[in-house]
Each structure stands twice: as C-alpha cells, then as structure tokens.
Chain A
Amino acid sequence: MKILVILRMVPDVIEELEVASDGKSLDSEFLRLIINESDNHALEQALLLKERHGGTVTALALDGPEIDDVLFTALAKGVDRAVKITGVEKGLTTRRVASVLAQSLPAVANVLPADMILTGCQAIDDLDGQVAPLLTQALKLPYLGLVTKVNVNPPAARASVVREFSGGVRGEFDVPMPVVLGIQAAEKPPRYVPVAKVRAVMKSARIEAVAAPGAPQAPAVDIVEMKKPEAAGRAKMIEGSPEDVAAKICDILAERGLL
C-alpha cells in the first residue's frame, strides 16, 4: 500500500495563550506548537496499515517551527519518507495551508498517486477551513471524515471504513481508492517511540525539502480582533480545601433538591 500522511502543527494549549500586540493574532513569544492531535492519530493509523499490509508511508508537512522534530519522530516510528514543503509563509490559515498542499503534492516525486491520504479531520485552529476536505476537493478525490477504523484488502481497490456519527452511533462505509480519509482516532493510541531512536534517526535519516511551487491560491482571511473569551456567564468559583468545597457543594445540591 502507498500511504501519504499529512501532518500539521497547532498551538499547544498547555501553554497560556496570549494575544499579540496587533490584537488579532497569537503572541508568538511563548507560543509552542504541537502536532495536531488527530494528525498524530492519522500517522498511527498509517503505520498500523503498513504493519498489516506492507507498503510505504510518507509523512509530509509544511516547513515551520518544531516540524523537524515531528518529522524525525515520524521516521523513528516507522515512516519510510519524510518531506517538508519549504518557502511557505508563516502563520497560514488552514484554507491556505490546504491550497499550498494541493499545489505542492504534485511537485514531490513519487508521492502521488497514493492509495490513501490520511490526515486529521479537525484541528483547534481550523478557522477558515478544514485541511483534509479542502485538499480533497483540489485533488479531485473522494473523502470521508471522522474515521475511526480502516479495513483494507489489497490488492482490492476499495476499503471498508468506520465513521463516527453521534450518540455513540457509527457508520460503516465502502470507499474507493485512492481516497482521502480524515482520521478522528486511530484504532490504537499513538505509539511511543524511544527518544534514543529519534536521536539516532536525526543522525542517519534525512528530511527531504521541496520548495512550494507558488503562493497560496486561496484568499487570506481577515481577523478583526482576537481576545480571550469573555464568558457570558462565568462560573461562581467555590474556594477552600476539598472538604470546604464539598460542604458548599452539598449545600447547593440540597437547595436544589438533589440531595
């Protein structure tokens, strides 16, 4: 099987997010980026498929801060090839990311056509579009998102895929290949890779760099203002030790007839 996994970095919300002085973007001084969680699941799913069916997995990402670590980690986990697209403007919104990817993929040797393109189906910074379906539109491929299970029987040209609905209900779909799948969760939690292995890979392997063929074709989006949310109704905070808090909550529950 030939699988392409697209990885993207998003702000790490473990850190306190601050607004930059322009009032419309994130302050980058202490901003750290982390791999988009569902992209990490897409990577895991790709590796699981490779383990089951053989073939190759290529991990691809736009160049940017902390991306080398992520790509080397992907290589250490078992990906065969890591490619980064360089010469890309920083801070692109997701619609423009999708546009750059759509233009760049054909410029990378031997990556298309892939049997499957896997990437996360959502991200916390998807302000003006989801990367996966937009990329799919540009590549004129079929798409299914919110995927949690992938069953393939190579060399058959179709796969059976499970997608989440709501209320715990899921749906089974029959998809053609090539296909783009937006992964919600891999069949197993993303694997661990020993740091020593990543360090070794940093010395022995290479990340291929391919220049983006052009500027994004999608319009830039105009953020008028960004700020920390003012909650319409913020919670009444209960202070004190856990015992104090428990007593106060019991009072509240009693008032409401819940106790």
Chain B
Amino acid sequence: MADTTTLDQASCEQMTMETLRNFPEGRNIWTCIQCGLCAGTCPYGEHMDYPPRRIIGLLREGMLDEIYKSDSMLYCVACYACKAKCPRGIDLTGILLPLMKEQVLINHPELPAELQKALENMLRYGNPMGESPRKRAAWVKTSPVPVRILSEDPTPTDVLWFVECYTSFYPRGQENCRATAKIFNRLGTDFAILGNEEKCAGECGRLSWETGLFTTLMEYNMQIFAKYKFNRIVTSCTHAYDAFRYRYPVLGFAYELEHTTPYFARHLDKLKPLMTKKLNYKVTYHDSCCLSRHNGYYDGPRTILESLPGVKLVEMTHNHVNSICCGGGGGGMWLDTYYKTKGFERLSERRIKEAIATGADVLAVSCPYEISRFEDALKVVGGDNKMIVRDVAELIAEAIE
C-alpha cells in the first residue's frame, strides 16, 4: 500500500525506458501480478484502453507500440491511486506512466490544443497561463504584510517560499498568497520569495509527457536556488513539492523541503493562540493527491482544521487514501475540453457532489489547482450557494484576526 517514501530513494527522474531494470523501483514493475486493482481504482479507468495492468502486460511482451499510438494515456491525471493500491508497491504514477506518456508524445505529437498551449507557455513564460513573467510578483503589492523578494534584497533567509504559478497569477490563488504571507508574518517566520525569477517547478509538464520541458525548468530553478542562501524551501503547491522531492535530487537538490500545510501543522502550537476568530464552519477536507496519497500525509491538515475555532470536521465518502482526484494533475488541468468531447464526467464534478453530500459549508483543500477546479465544479452542479472552497492557509488566516 502507500508507503511514505524517503528522500534517500533514487530520484524518479533518473529512470528511462532503457535503464528501468537497473533500478529496484524499475525492476519492481515486472513483479506485477495482473490483479487489476490499478485499473479498478483509476478514476478514468473505465475509459482507458491501456490501464496500468495492460501496459505492464504489453511491456513484458515487448508490444508497447500499440500504446504509443493510442490516446489512452491522455486520461491519466497522475492521481497516485493506482500506485497506492498496487499490492506490489509498483511506482506506476511516478515512473511507468510518465515514461509511457513521453513515448506517446514522441510518437504522435498532436496534443489537444489547450494542453499544447499550456506546455508552450510553461517553456516560454515559466507559467502555463502565458502571463508575463514580470507580473509573477505583482500580487506582492496587495499583500497585507511585507514580502521580501530575493532579487531585490538577497540577504539570507530562513524560508524560501516557492509560491508557484496558480497562486501567483490566478486571482483566487493570490488570496492564498495573502493568507500565507499573513500567517508567516504572525509566526515571525523569516521568509522571502523569488518573485519574477521564479518559474514553474514543472511537475505537471513532467507528469504529462514533457521531459524536455521539465529538464529545462529544473535546470533553471536549480540555478536560481544556487544564487541565494536559505535554510529550507516551503512551497504552496503540492505538485512543486513532489517535483522537488522526487525529481530535482537528480540535479543535486538537497534543501529541506515542506509544503505550506505541513509547515503550518508543525507550527500549530504557535498558531493556536493567534486563531481567535470563531469560524462556525462545517468543513470537509479533500486530500490532495500529491501531498496525501503520494506522501502519506493525512493527519496534519485535519489537526489544523480541528483546531480552528468553531470548526467541525466531516469526512467525504472517499477520504484519506481513497480520496478522488480533482482531475488537475498529469496535464488534466488543460484537458477538460478534451475529456468533454469524449463524454467523460469531469472528476471535479464527481468529487464536488461528494463534498456537497456531507452537508459541509466549506471544502478545504491544499493544492492550488483544487480551488479553481472545485469552484468551477460548484457552479456547474449548481452548488455555489451551498458551499465555498478554501485553502487551509486561507482558513487559518481567516481565524487569525
């Protein structure tokens, strides 16, 4: 089942189709018992011609060509559900599936237009929206507390806060930024951001086909990190967390690393006396795929939420390791139109209905994609008068007066 991987593990980034069998994680793929738990648990498994089980079957027979010509791999949203359920602990999501996707891209590079644009924008502008990189730190002007930008003031800092794209550019994401800055400030954290020098960590490019793009972004970010002195990186984005933890080590990344939610959980004793405003919310928490299922991190956010004054926590039908992905990973963020043309139900809509069924007022999340995906889904299912979506950081900030 889901194991908490350690930082000593070989970087996922090191393995290629050719070198797979040189690594224990690679060799593990061949121990598949064809049980089909992966296909059964995959949120889009019913639509795939080649779920992980079949891929491994074909891999053993040396018949991968037919996968390369199919668009089945486009339905994988990199949610780690298959990896979590695999009785052999095969790293499907982190190793096998990205390699398959990469080959599919090489073999038929006709990507759905929106995904193509996102990848091109990531390469050119360092963010998938295609916004000018010089606007990445524009949100800082709206911050209620000072936020130091390292390129302007390179004094060493304790925390390098890696903000990421959706949080920096997307208006709802900027509320998360303001909340996070406020929390850091109240905790007395010594923090700074890269500002306009920051570029996407590249995880979604990586998990959706584009190793070359990922390598380019990774090389760039490592070079920027080398310019400054800091003790640890804390990031608002769960995908960036995964990229830094599992892939960047191939280029020597060895910084201490945390996502904001675990960071805040670790400082809960200092936050509790500050969180004085009674929120009076019934909250349900959506376990983010990267942070929770992939990294085994379930309790921290719940502990935070339960310490918020006036908050009652309820669980959705599918929770913890069984949580259903919002559909944003692996390129899914830019494939909604494509999935619609295929007649698939949007995963965020499937999940939001579960959330609404709990009777909660607030859906709490930890991943920047989830805010936009779930708020959108709420509108589509007509639930936007019943429920709001908030990042854990926003809730903490709201409780701090």
Contacts and interface: CB of A to CB of B under 8 A. Distances in A.
| A–B contact (CB under 8 angstroms) | yes
A197 B210 CA distance: 10
B119 interface: yes
Q: Which 6 A-B pairs have the closest CB atoms?
A: A195-B212, A196-B212, A195-B213, A192-B116, A15-B132, A14-B132
Interface of A: 14-16, 30, 34, 189, 191-199
A192 B109 contact: yes
Contacts of B102: 194, 196
B215 interface: yes
Contacts of A189: 113
A194 B110 contact: no
A47 to B, nearest CB: 12
A194 B116 CA distance: 10
A194 B106 CA distance: 7
Contacts of A34: 124
- In this complex, which of B111, B120, B132 has the most chain A Cβ atoms within 10 angstroms of its Cβ? B132
B280 interface: no
Given A191-B110, A194-B109, A16 B209 contact: no
B303 interface: no
A14 B216 CA distance: 21
Contacts, number: 48
B124 to A, nearest CB: 8
Interface string B73-117: 000000000000000000000000000001001100111010010
Contacts of B119: 192
Nearest to B120: A192
Interface residues of B, number: 24
Interface in B116-150: 116, 119-120, 123-125, 130-132, 134
Contacts of B109: 191-194
B211 interface: yes
B212 A30 contact: no
A14 to B, nearest CB: 5
14 contacts: A14-B125, A15-B132, A16-B132, A192-B116, A194-B109, A194-B210, A194-B213, A195-B210, A195-B211, A195-B212, A195-B215, A195-B216, A196-B210, A199-B212
A182 B109 CA distance: 26
B134 A16 contact: yes
B123 A195 contact: yes
A201 B213 CA distance: 14
Contacts of B134: 15-16, 30
A257 B37 CA distance: 61
A15 B106 CA distance: 31
A34 B124 CA distance: 9
Contacts of A15: 132, 134
Contacts of A30: 134
A199 B212 CA distance: 7
A16 B132 CA distance: 8
B212 A197 contact: yes
Given A34-B124, A192-B111, 13 more contacts: A14-B125, A14-B131, A14-B132, A15-B132, A189-B113, A192-B109, A194-B102, A194-B105, A194-B210, A194-B211, A194-B212, A195-B215, A197-B106
A79 B14 CA distance: 31
Contacts of A16: 132, 134
Contacts of B213: 194-195
Nearest to B214: A195
Nearest to B122: A195
Contacts of A191: 109-110
B205 to A, nearest CB: 9
Of B106, B109, B125, B212, chain A has the most CB atoms within 10 Å of the CB of: B212
A197 B113 CA distance: 19
Contacts of B131: 14
A199 B213 CA distance: 10
A193 B215 CA distance: 15
Contacts of B132: 14-16
Contacts of B120: 192
A189 B130 CA distance: 18
Contacts of A199: 212, 215-216
A196 B212 CA distance: 4
Contacts of A14: 125, 130-132
A16 B211 CA distance: 30
Nearest to A189: B113
A196 B215 contact: yes
Nearest to A193: B109
Among the interface residues A189, A192, A199, which one has the most CB atoms of the partner chain B within 10 A?
A: A192
A203 B282 CA distance: 57
A199 B209 CA distance: 15
Contacts of B130: 14
Nearest to A192: B116
Contacts of B123: 195
A198 B110 contact: no
A194 B110 CA distance: 11
